[in-house]
Chains A and B, each alone.
Chain A
Amino acid sequence: MQNGEEPNKIISIEKNSKPRVKRRRVDEGGLVLLFFVLLLLPVLVRHDDYILQVFTHALLLATLALAWNILGISGSISLGHAAFFGAGAYTSALLSLESGISPWLTIPLGGLLSSGLGLVMGLICMRLRGAYFALATLAFVEIPRVITDNWDGLTRGSLGLVGLPGLPSLHLGSWYIHIGSSVAASYYLVLIHALFLSGLVGFIFHSNLGIALQAIREEEIAAQSIGIRIERFRLFSLLVSAFFAGVSGACYAHMVRYIGPELVYGIHFSAAPMIFALCGGRLTIVGPALAALILYPVDQFIFHPLLPAGHEFLYGAVLVLVVIYLPRGFWGSIRKAP
């Protein structure tokens, strides 16, 4: 062991990390390739609407998983993101349906309301840690679900909301895109959202905010003792995470154009982001999104035709295998750095 006889000796870290730099290039090449595949997908599948719809939904789940992981960086596992997804969906749907505001405006408003709900969740659940936090969030989903289900006058209760306005057309001078009616256009819209969120998560990871969230994840008491205000950082990550989960829900509402309490507050939208994040790699930036882009299409194209009743067993099986054999997630195992 070196005993520190040379206090100012700085060992070049570039030297130590050379092999990793090489591997990173392979990963980054893969990501660039994936980017172009996603960009050209509508052309590659010859505008097959079914395939495009599946990938649109996969991208939407990817945005939800990315949003989930903003909280995940700080070590909190949420089983309640359906609360934000559903609240975002209902807020945007009701605002656009009742007052005729453009979905372009109601979608971020849906995110804001989800953030408000995140504040409530934070105040109630943030004193808990680990499994206790996860269970509290699981129970928390019931609050917005029961309110939505029973406030018939506003939400039409369990009947759900039908005939929601689709995403309106974009006008750019004489040139315009019918996002609402074109499958490819909504695909690109969700793709842009997913890319934006990946960028945001990347920024958080590499900023000092990310380093604080990671420190909190690893050792709260030590993090506090070196000057980190852990309550604020944990709450902040929850609010941002809830905002983008709400935006995902709102996009979902205007793309599917039907929502009901059992659907958008269902366990599916709580479990999916967690499964994707754990499978892809919770400590990575794009791992959760990659898992959504792989698992959901595999589920829809392969397992759904084979096992129409029990196709979702795929998620359970993959999750068990990943947790046992690749605890860092598949992307986390390929790539050591975030």
Chain B
Amino acid sequence: MTLLQLHNVTKTFGEIRALNGIDFSITEGEIVGLVGPNGAGKTTLFNLLSGRFRPSSGRIIFAGTEITGLKPHAICRLGISRTFQSSRPFAKMTALDNVIVGCVFGKGFYLRPRREDKCTALEILGMVGISHKAETLAGDFTLSELRRLDLARALATRPRLLLLDEVAAGFSPVAVKQAVKLVLRVRDRGVTMLIIDHFLNLSLKVSDRLIALDFGEKIAEGPPGEIMKNRKVIKAYLGLRHEEEHE
């Protein structure tokens, strides 16, 4: 079943075309990697999908519902959740409370705190591997812990589609391995994922499909192996001269 569809989505900031006529779709259960050099428009696309920006034109359809231009909270309640390139923790709250907020507000909200939310939050913290830090203030976390917390908070909203923005950037090879395991574990819970991965250290290992962007255009789409050999992608990442040398 098609979970997400983009039709001719364009976003301009003044004169700049950050995204130009993007079309693609994601099937439920897939892990799709979104790759491309700096400034290709990956994060802008996430901001459109999560409702932070409104597309200049085009339509976004999620699970049969048009979500173009909806507010972030509404999109979250429909089932799209995201993490941020630079984590945005609730710094003066404990990790547990960070995740509880997601549990409570992810699908509407109720006033009275419930015991289940605490249990669910602890379980999710356990899944991302930071349950031993449940009572630590998020402001005291390391980079890798912050990314895990961001992921835990996004998962707490019970998303159907999870948008992961540079979740493994700057990670050591060991940490990348852990991240791969984690992403696969999230998929086992039935969550579809779109992963931004500039350095390809994560998406090559987990993605069913890659979508490559450059200068706001989709330049390629297909299985990881194929995309890595795609000329346009190589050119976008490494420049023209390198491509000529390969010929």
Q: Do A and B bind each other?
A: yes
Contact check: which of A4, A9, A16, A208 meets B112 at CB < 8 Å?
A208
- Contacts A211-B104, A227-B107, A229-B73 given; indicate if A218 touches B89 (C-beta within 8 A): yes
Q: Quick check: is A6 within 8 A (CB to CB) of the other chain?
A: yes
Q: Quick check: is B199 within 8 A (CB to CB) of the other chain?
A: no
Contact check: which of B82, B90, B153 meets A214 at CB < 8 Å?
B90
B93 touches A226 (CB 8 A): no
Q: Quick check: is A1 within 8 A (CB to CB) of the other chain?
A: yes
Interface string of A33-75 (1 = CB under 8 A from B): 0000000000000000000000000000000000000000000
B81 touches A225 (CB 8 A): yes
> Which A residues form the contact surface with B (CB < 8 A)?
1-11, 13, 16-17, 206-209, 211-212, 214-215, 217-219, 221-230, 283
What B residues does A209 contact at CB under 8 A?
111
Q: Quick check: is B9 within 8 A (CB to CB) of the other chain?
A: no
What A residues does B52 contact at CB under 8 A?
221, 224-225
- Contacts A6-B126, A227-B77 given; indicate if A215 touches B90 (C-beta within 8 A): yes
What A residues does B81 contact at CB under 8 A?
225-226
Contact check: which of A4, A208, A219, A222 meets B126 at CB < 8 Å?
A4
Q: Quick check: is B202 within 8 A (CB to CB) of the other chain?
A: no
B130 touches A226 (CB 8 A): no
What B residues does A7 contact at CB under 8 A?
123, 126-127, 185
Contact check: which of B102, B112, B156 meets A207 at CB < 8 Å?
B112
Q: Quick check: is B96 within 8 A (CB to CB) of the other chain?
A: yes
What's the minimum C-beta distance from A218 to chain B, rounded to whole angstroms?
A: 4
B154 touches A218 (CB 8 A): no
* Residue from A211, A219, A226, A230 having most chain B Cβ neighbours under 10 A: A226
Instruction: Using C-beta atoms within 8 Å of the partner chain, give the interface range for chain B.
Output: 35 or more
A4 touches B127 (CB 8 A): yes
Contact check: which of B73, B107, B123, B181 meets A224 at CB < 8 Å?
B73
Interface string of B171-212 (1 = CB under 8 A from A): 000000010011001000000000000000000000000000
> Which B residues form the contact surface with A (CB < 8 A)?
50, 52, 71-73, 76-77, 81-82, 84, 88-93, 96-97, 100-102, 104-113, 119, 122-123, 126-132, 134-135, 142, 144-145, 148, 153-154, 156-157, 178, 181-182, 185
What B residues does A207 contact at CB under 8 A?
111-113
What B residues does A218 contact at CB under 8 A?
89-93
16 other contacts beyond A215-B90, A221-B72, A225-B154, with CB at 8 A cut-off?
A4-B126, A4-B128, A13-B122, A16-B134, A206-B113, A207-B112, A211-B104, A212-B101, A214-B97, A215-B101, A217-B92, A221-B52, A225-B72, A227-B106, A227-B109, A228-B109
Complex: how many Å from CA A9 to CA B127?
Answer: 8
What A residues does B153 contact at CB under 8 A?
222, 226
What A residues does B132 contact at CB under 8 A?
2, 11
Complex: how many Å from CA A88 to CA B135?
Answer: 42
B101 touches A2 (CB 8 A): no
What's the minimum C-beta distance from B169 to chain A, rounded to whole angstroms?
A: 17
Q: What would 25 A/B residue contacts be, using CB atoms closer than 8 Å?
A: A4-B128, A10-B119, A10-B122, A10-B131, A11-B134, A13-B134, A207-B112, A208-B105, A208-B110, A208-B113, A211-B113, A212-B104, A218-B92, A219-B88, A221-B88, A222-B89, A225-B50, A225-B73, A225-B84, A225-B154, A226-B81, A226-B157, A227-B73, A228-B101, A228-B105
